[in-house]
Amino acid sequence: MKLGATLGRGLNMPVGSTKFAWRKFWADSALAYLFLLPTLAVLATFSFYPVVRAFTLSLYDWGLSPDKEFIGFQNYVEVFHDKVFWLAVRNTAVYIIGTVPVQIILALGVALLLNQKIRFRPFYRLAFFVPYITTATAISMVWLWIYHDQWGLLNYILGWFGADPKKWLLDPRYTMMTIIVIGIWKIIGYTVVIFLAGLQNVDRELYNAARVDGANDWQGFWHVTWPLLSPTTFFVSITSMIGAFKVFTEIFVLYGGKPGPLRAGTTMVFYVYEAAFQDHRMGYASAAAYILFFMVLFVTFFQLWYAKKHVHYDA
Amino acid sequence: MKPIAGFTLWKRTRGGLTHLLLLGGSVIMLLPLYWMLVTSLKTYHETIINPPTWIPKVLQWHNYLDAWHAQPYMGRYFYNSFYTSIITVIIEVIFSVLAAYAFARMTFIGKNILFVLFLSTMMIPGEVLLVPNFITIAKLHWMDSYKALIIPWTISVFAIFLLRQHFLQIPWELQEAAYLDGAGHTRFLFQIMIPLSRPPIATVALLKFIGSWNAFLWPLLVTNTPKMRTVSIGLMSLMQDEGPQYHIWMAAATLALLPVLLLFLAAQEQLVESVAKSGLKG
C-alpha cells in the first residue's frame, strides 16, 4: 500500500492494488533507464571511467609505446621535484589572484551602476557581456595585435600618457600580466550579469529603511547590500576561480604554442599539456593532472568552509 | 522653470557620473573588437604606421576574401565547426531532455544515487580527463573523426539540471489529465513537456553551440589533418603560414567570431537571462 501511495503521489493519482503498483514501478524504472541510457553511456565513457583511468595511468611510466612499467607513486615524486611544476603552480596562483578579486570588484561596481533606472542600460550590459562569448583563439589574436611592441594599440595609447613603449610579449616580466588582462576583460560581463541577478534579490525595502535611518550610500551598501549579496559573491568567486585554473588557450595563441618567453607563462594546464602531448609522458601527465584536481578540490572546499562562516543565506 | 534644488542638482551630477563611468567602461570593453574590425579593413601598410588610424583610409573589403583564401581549407574549417557544433547541440538536447525528464517525473531504482553521481561530475576539472579521454579516442580509432569532436561533448550535466528544474515546474495536473487520456510518459514528454519547455531548451542549445564553436584544446588534440580541423585551429595555422599580416589575421578573426556574435545579438535577452539563472541556482 505504501508503494502505491508513493507512486500515487508521483503521478498524482490513485494507483489501485499493490500488485498493479509494483508492475507499474518496474515498467517505469525500465523506461527511466532507457531514457537515461545515452547519458549514462557517454558519462561512463568520458567522465567516470577516465577519472579512475587517470589515476591508474599516473602509477605507470608510459609514453604511448607498448612497454609500460608500474612505478607506484614515482611520477608524483618526480612532479613534486620538478622546478617547472612549481613555476606552473606559482603562475596559476598569480593568474587566479590577478583575475578573480579584480574582476569581482570591477563587476560589482558596474552591476551597482547598472542596477538603476538609467538610459542605455541594455547597451551597457551588451558592451560588458560581449567579450564573454567571444572565441578564445580569435580574440587572443586580436590581443596579440594590441600588444605588438611597435604597432600595437596598447603602446600607442600609453604613449598619450608619456609611457615608453614596452615589449609586452617578449619580456617575461609581462607575460602573466598579458593573459590576466585578457582574463579579466573576458569574464567581467559574466560576473556583472550574475551580480545584477543577485541584486534583484536584495530587498530594496531594507536598503531604503537604512537610508531613512540616516545611512549614506556607502553605509547602505556596506551594511545592507554587501551582506545580502554574499551568496552571489561566493558563487562568483568559486566559479571564476575554478575557471581560472583552466587558463590555456590565451597563452597558446599569444605565444605561438609555447608557454611564453623563458616559460614565464607556464600554467598548470599548460604543464599537463606539454607533458602529455609534447613529451608524450602519459603517466607523468596524469599524475600532474591529478595533483591539479586535488588543488582545485582543496581550494573549493576551503571556500565552502569559509562561506559557512561568512556567507549570509538569510536576510 | 522650476529652480533646481540642491538635491536635484546632486541627482543630476550623480546620473552624469554614472553614465561617464559606464561609457568609459563600455569603450574599454568594445575597443579590442573595434580595433579588430578596423584593422581588418586596412591595407598592410596602413597597419604599420605610427600614429595608427582610427578609421581606415579606404575600406579594404577584399581582405576578407584574402583571409578566406589564405588557407586552402578555410571553407572546410568553417564547415567542420558548423557541423560539429550543430550536431553536438542536437544530440545534447535530445539526451538531456530524456535524462531530465527521468529525473523530474519518473520513479525508479537508484534515482538518488544517480543524481548525486551526475552532480559529482561537475566537480571534475576537464583537464584531468584530457589524457585518458585522448587514449580512449585513440583506442576506439576515432582520431581525426567527427565522432571524436562530437560525442564526448554531447552530455552536459548542467543542461540536464536546468531542464529538470523547468520540468519540475510543469503542473502535475497536466500529467494526470494526459494519463487519463491514455498518454504515458513518452507521449506526455513529446507532446506536452517539450512544447512547453521551448525557452530553456533554446537556452541549453545556445550555450552549447557557443561552447562548441569556441572549443580549442580538444579539437587540437584529436584532429591532425587539415580536413578535420575546426575554425579555432585553422586560425592558428593561418598565423603560422601567413606570418605577421595583421590585416589578414584580423579579417580571419572577425570571420571566426561572426557566427557567435550574430547568435548573441539575435538571442541576447535569452542568453543573458540564462547565465543569470545559472548563477542563482548555484
What pLDDT digit, counting tens, does each position of A40-87 carry?
Answer: 999 999 999 999 999 999 999 998 787 888 999 999 999 999 999 999
- For chain B, what percent of residues have pLDDT higher than 70? 96
Indicate if the pLDDT at residue A30 is higher than 60: yes
User: What would the mean pLDDT of B113-140 be, rounded to a whole number?
Assistant: 90
Secondary structure of residue B216 in the 3-state scheme = coil
Instruction: Give, in order, the Cα–Cα distances in Å from B49 to each of A163, B42, B145.
Output: 19, 11, 44
A118 touches chain B (CB under 8 A): yes
Which of B103, B131, B255 to probe the A interface (max A CBs under 10 A)? Answer: B131
Task: Provide the pLDDT for residue A116.
Answer: 86
User: What would the mean pLDDT of B174-179 be, rounded to a whole number?
Assistant: 86
B253 to A139: CB separation less than 8 angstroms, yes or no: yes
A194 to B152: CB separation less than 8 angstroms, yes or no: no
A130 to B32: CB separation less than 8 angstroms, yes or no: no
* Residue B216 pLDDT level (bands cut at 50, 70, 90): very high
Indicate if the pLDDT at residue A36 is higher than 70: yes
Instruction: Give, in order, the Cα–Cα distances in Å from B23 to each of A98, A124, A141, A275.
Output: 24, 7, 25, 45
Indicate if the pLDDT at residue B268 is higher than 60: yes
Task: Provide the pLDDT for residue A4.
Answer: 41
* Residue A6 pLDDT level (bands cut at 50, 70, 90): very low
Task: Provide the pLDDT for residue B176.
Answer: 85
Task: Provide the pLDDT for residue B90.
Answer: 97
* Residue B14 pLDDT level (bands cut at 50, 70, 90): confident
Cβ atoms A268, A292 nearer than 8 A: yes
Q: Residue A176 corresponds to which cell in the numbers above?
A: 602573466
Could you give the dihedral angle defined by the CA atoms of residues A189, A190, A191 and A194, in that order, rounded to the nearest 10 degrees? 120
Least confident of A99-103, A233-237, B272-276: B272-276
Residue with cell 596562483: A93
Task: Provide the pLDDT for residue A16.
Answer: 55
Task: Provide the pLDDT for residue A2.
Answer: 43
Task: List all residues 6 or more positions away from B268 whose beta carbon is below 8 Å from its beta carbon.
Answer: A126
Of B108, B127, B160, the CB nearest to A289: B127
User: What would the mean pLDDT of A164-188 be, rounded to a whole number?
Assistant: 96
- Residues of chain B with Cβ-Cβ distance to A151 below 8 Å are 47-50, 52, 246
Task: Provide the pLDDT for residue A186.
Answer: 96
Q: Residue B192 corresponds to which cell in the numbers above?
A: 506536452
Residue B13 C-alpha from the chain's centroid:
39
Of A38, A185, A189, the CB nearest to B98: A38
Of B23, B51, B108, the CB nearest to A28: B108
Task: Provide the pLDDT for residue B50.
Answer: 85
A293 to B125: CB separation less than 8 angstroms, yes or no: yes
Secondary structure of residue B71 in the 3-state scheme = coil
Of B236, B261, B277, the CB nearest to A253: B236
Provide the shortest C-alpha distance from residue A18 to chain B (in Å): 16
Least confident of A103-112, A281-290, B52-61, B117-126: B117-126
User: What would the mean pLDDT of A97-101 be, rounded to a whole number?
Assistant: 96
Residue type, B263: L
Task: List all residues 6 or more positions away from A133 whose beta carbon is below 8 Å from its beta carbon.
Answer: B210, B214, B260, B261, B264, B271
Q: Residue A146 corresponds to which cell in the numbers above?
A: 594590441
A253 touches chain B (CB under 8 A): yes
- Residues of chain B with Cβ-Cβ distance to A297 below 8 Å are 123
Indicate if the pLDDT at residue B281 is higher than 50: no
- For chain B, what percent of residues have pLDDT higher than 90? 67
- Residues of chain A with Cβ-Cβ distance to B264 below 8 Å are 130, 133
Q: Residue B184 corresponds to which cell in the numbers above?
A: 504515458
Which of B128, B137, B203, B222 to probe the A interface (max A CBs under 10 A)? Answer: B128
Cβ atoms B183, B254 nearer than 8 A: no
Which of A65, A137, A143, A230 to probe the B interface (max B CBs under 10 A)? Answer: A137
User: What would the mean pLDDT of B90-117 be, rounded to a whole number?
Assistant: 94
User: What would the mean pLDDT of B1-23 be, rounded to a whole number?
Assistant: 77
The string of pLDDT tens digits covering residues A239-269 is 899 889 999 999 999 999 999 999 999 999 9
Task: Provide the pLDDT for residue A314.
Answer: 57
The string of pLDDT tens digits covering residues B15-74 is 889 999 999 999 999 999 999 999 999 999 999 998 999 999 999 999 999 999 988 899
Q: How many A-B residue pairs are in contact by the CB < 8 A criterion?
A: 288
Indicate if the pLDDT at residue A107 is higher than 80: yes
Task: Provide the pLDDT for residue A3.
Answer: 46
